[in-house]
Structure 1
Amino acid sequence: MPPIIEHTRRRIYLMRHGSVSYFDDAGKPFLPESVPLNEQGRLQASAAGKVFAEQQVRFDRVIVSGLPRTVETAHCVLEETGQQIDLEIWPEWEELRGGKLSAISDAELKNAFFGAFEGVVAEDRQFLGGESIGRFIDRIHPSILKLRADPDWDCVLLVLHGGVNRAILSYALTGQRLFLGNLAQTAGCINVLDVGTEIQDWVVRVVNYSALSALQDESRSTTMETLLEQYKKSRNQ
C-alpha cells in the first residue's frame, strides 16, 4: 500500500453579513457605510451562530470589514457560540464601492446594477459607476495573502460582504486574478474553505450555505435584481 499522506490545513469560515435595508419604502438610498442589520438580518446572523455552536466550532480569530453590518453580524454569531473574541477590523475588505446613483442614466441603470455580477467580469467594469473590478481585486488579494502568511490562527471567521466574498472565492477556485460575478452570496450565508501551506492549496468545501433556508427556495432573484426594483421606486416618483 502507498503511504498515507497527511495534510495539515487551516479552516476559514467566510460569512456574508446579514440582511440590511439599503433603500427606504420610497426607494431612496440609505448611506451604505452606516446601515445596520434589519430584523431578518439579525435572525440570519443568529441562525448562523447556532450552526457553529451545534457543530462546536471554536474560532481563534474573527475579522470584519468594520462596516456596521459586518460588526453586528459577528457579534450575533459570537453571542450564540459563547465566545468572547475581540473583532479585528480590516477596512481593505470593505464592499465594492459604488458611485452616485443619481448620476447614472435610466438607460444605464440595469447595466450599472448587474454588470459587476455577471459571469467572468472584466477588470474595467465599474460597480454602480464607482470602483472598478480591477481596483477591487487590487485591495482584496493582498489581504488574502497576508492572512495566509500569518501563522497565528487555525480557525478564523471572516464576516464580510457579497462582493468581497466573491473575490475571495474566485481566487480560491481559480488561483488567478479573476472575479466570478455569479457566485451567489445570500445574506448571512456561510462558506467553508481550507488552506494549506502551498499558495495553490485551497479546498472549497461549502459555498453559500444559508442556515435559515438550506435550499434557498423562497426566491430566484439575485440581490442586485431586488435592489434595483427597490431603487426604481424613487426614479418613478
Structure 2
Amino acid sequence: MTTPPRIAFDGSLRRRVYLFRHGDVAYVTNDGSIVADPRAVHLTTQGQQEADAMGKMMADIPIDKAVCSGLPRTIQTLDRILGDRDMPVEQVPDLEELRSDRAQAAYEQGSAPDPVPLPDDLNEVAYAFLNAHKPGMKYRNGEAFEDFEARVVPAFEGLLKTPDWHTMALVAHGGVNRVLLGWALGTGLKTFGQFEQDTCCLNVLDIDQDPDDLTIRRVLVRAVNATTYDPPKRERHLTTLEGLAHKLQQTRKA
C-alpha cells in the first residue's frame, strides 16, 4: 500500500512509525536453563497467535516500509503482521536485542556458546534493567547499556534519513523499543527500566521532519505498549523480566 504524506501545522513532513515488539518466545528450556542461543529462538504458538491478531488489527493500515532486526522472531512476527502485503523487508542487524553474556558470546562466536550459569539471586534477572542509566552498567555481564544505545539510535535515525516512505512498520525487541522510546522523549537510558514492552505490543511514533532535508523537528509519542490481548492489562502483573525469573524459579523448584 502507498501511504500519502501527512503534513503538520507548520509544514513539517509527519512520518509515522509503528514500532512493535516480537511475539512470544521461550527463553527457558524444560530443564530450567536458558536456551543455548537466545538470538535463535522462534515464535511459540502463542507468539504466532499474537502476531496474527496484530496483523488483523493492522490489516487496513497503509504501510510503505517494513523493517525488522533480522533475528528469526522479528522476521516471523513482521511476516504475520504484514499479512498478504507484497513488499520487501529490510533487515537492520544493529536493531538486534540487548545481548546478555550468552547472547553476546553467540553473536561473537557465530554459534551457541558454552553454558553460562545464572545468578543464584533471580532478582538480578527480574530487575536487570533498573540501573541501565548508570555508567558502565552491563546487561547480565554482556553488552553495556551505553553501547547498546549507541548502536540502536544511529540505526534508527538512519531509517529516518531515507526519503522513500511515509509509514513504517518496524518489528524489534523490548530493549530496542525502550531505547527508542527514551530517544523519542529525550530521556535516554534514564527511563529504560520504567517502560514495559509486552509481547507483540505496538508503540506509535510520529516524527516531524523538514520536508527538504529530513532534519528532525519534533517527535510525538501516540501510543505505548498497546496489545490486542488484554488492552487494560488486567492480567498483566509481572514484567517481562519478572516473568522470566518466575519461570526459572519454578523450574528450579521442580
Return the TM-score normalized by structure 1. Answer: 0.88
After superposition, the C-alpha distances for 1:149-188 in whole angstroms (9 at most, x for unaligned) are 1111110110000000000011001165655222110100
User: Does the Cα contact within 8 Å between 2:126 and 2:243 map onto a contact in 1?
Assistant: no
Residue 232 of structure 1 and its aligned partner are, at CA, apart by 3.1
Q: What is the alpha-carbon distance in structure 2 between the residues aligned to residue 156 and residue 203 of structure 1?
A: 15
- 3-state SS of the aligned residue for 1:171? helix
Q: Specify whether residues 113 and 176 from structure 1 end up closer, same or farther in structure 2 by C-alpha distance, changes over 3 A only.
A: closer
Q: Does 1:111 align with 2:124?
A: yes
Residue 236 of structure 1 and its aligned partner are, at CA, apart by 5.3
User: Does the Cα contact within 8 Å between 1:13 and 1:192 map onto a contact in 2?
Assistant: yes
**1:15 equivalent in structure 2:** 20
**1:89 equivalent in structure 2:** 91
User: Does the Cα contact within 8 Å between 1:113 and 1:127 map onto a contact in 2?
Assistant: no
- 3-state SS of the aligned residue for 1:224? helix
The CA RMSD over aligned residues, in Å, is 2.0
**2:116 equivalent in structure 1:** 102
**1:206 equivalent in structure 2:** 223
Q: Does 1:27 align with 2:44?
A: no
What residue ranges of structure 2 are gaps of 5+ in the alignment?
Answer: 1-8, 103-114, 210-214
- 3-state SS of the aligned residue for 1:44? helix
User: Does the Cα contact within 8 Å between 1:14 and 1:192 map onto a contact in 2?
Assistant: yes
Matched residue pairs, number? 228
Residue 227 of structure 1 and its aligned partner are, at CA, apart by 0.5
After superposition, the C-alpha distances for 1:100-129 in whole angstroms (9 at most, x for unaligned) are 47344414x42244132x276324221122
Residue 219 of structure 1 and its aligned partner are, at CA, apart by 2.4
Match of 1:185 among 184, 197, 200: 197
User: Does the Cα contact within 8 Å between 1:192 and 1:206 map onto a contact in 2?
Assistant: yes
What residue ranges of structure 1 are gaps of 5+ in the alignment?
Answer: none
User: Does the Cα contact within 8 Å between 1:171 and 1:178 map onto a contact in 2?
Assistant: no
User: Does the Cα contact within 8 Å between 2:125 and 2:245 map onto a contact in 1?
Assistant: no
Return the TM-score normalized by structure 2. Answer: 0.83
Percent identity over paired residues? 33
User: Does the Cα contact within 8 Å between 1:112 and 1:129 map onto a contact in 2?
Assistant: no
User: Does the Cα contact within 8 Å between 2:94 and 2:152 map onto a contact in 1?
Assistant: yes
Residue 145 of structure 1 and its aligned partner are, at CA, apart by 1.6
Runs of 4+ deviating beyond 6 Å:
none
**2:144 equivalent in structure 1:** 132
